[in-house]
Homo-oligomer: A and B are copies of this chain.
Amino acid sequence: MNELFGLVEIIGSLALAISGALTAIRNKFDGFGILIIAFVTAIGGGTLRDILLPNREVFWIHNTYIMYAIIAGTVIAIFLRNKHQYIYKPLMLFDSIGLGFYTIVGVGIGISQGLDAIFCILIGTITGTFGGVLRDILVNKAPIIFHKEIYATISILGGGMYYILTYTNLQVVAVKFIPITFIILARLVVLKFELSLPSIYSKEEN
């Protein structure tokens, strides 16, 4: 169980590191710059979560495996870089995988600390999305999350689904992987069909 949990965290780190490194490469960052963006993208969400919650060490400070995953993700992204025209799709795929895995890790930690449902889901969403927010700020783009709010919505829905599933008799593996799969697929469907939430502004206001 704990091993599974650790594995989820490492897969999330790897996916977000690749997503961060690919973004840095699109912006023509060099060597260490790519590594720094990969690192910040991979650990940003979980780090903010661990800073906000009491009695938690920052999750990566004694976990060299996560560092190796980030370095591996950076190297993979650098090797893929020549396929410039193909970068957008894998970037979105890895970003979605990271969103799914990290949201569920975050909600689980909120539950283990006995937080109210609303805060469990909030912590999950922070864990899943904040690394990408930092990534976008550091490469000087407007954070995707503020313009594609469906991104946060999917994280919230998947986190809520996980919270409810923990009250069922389903096996632990299913309880985790059903909402993770939901988040990844929902994100990809939204991207594929360019869906968006209805605007609060009427036409006259625009």
CB-defined interface of A79-121 with B at 8 Å, one 1/0 digit per residue? 0011010000000000000000000000000000001101100
The reply to whether the CB of A11 lies closer than 8 angstroms to some CB of chain B is no
Check B67–A118 contact: CB distance below 8 A: yes
Interface centre among A33, A137, A199 (most CB of B within 10 A): A33
Contact with A61, one of B58, B115, B199 (Cβ below 8 angstroms):
B115
Q: Which residues of B contact A81 (CB under 8 A)?
A: 200, 205
Q: Which residues of B contact A153 (CB under 8 A)?
A: 32
For chain A residues 15-41, which have a beta carbon within 8 Å of chain B? 28-34, 36-37
Check B119–A197 contact: CB distance below 8 A: no
Chain B residue at minimal CB-CB distance from A34: B200
* Bound CA span A138–B137, Å: 9
Interface-facing stretch out of A1-9, A139-147, A164-172, A182-190? A139-147
Q: How many copies does the complex hold?
A: 3
Interface size class of A (residues with CB under 8 A): 35 or more
Q: Which residues of B contact A29 (CB under 8 A)?
A: 146
Check A197–B30 contact: CB distance below 8 A: yes
* Bound CA span A58–B110, Å: 14
* Bound CA span A199–B78, Å: 12
Give min CB distance, A109 to chain B, whole Å.
Answer: 12
**Which 8 residue pairs of A and B lie closest in terms of their CB atoms, listed nearest first?**
A32-B149, A33-B146, A54-B57, A52-B58, A33-B149, A32-B152, A31-B149, A30-B199
Q: Residues of A at under 8 Å CB distance from B?
A: 28-34, 36-37, 47, 51-54, 57-58, 61-62, 64, 67, 78, 81-82, 84, 115-116, 118-119, 137-138, 140, 142-143, 145-147, 149, 152-153, 197, 199-201, 205-206
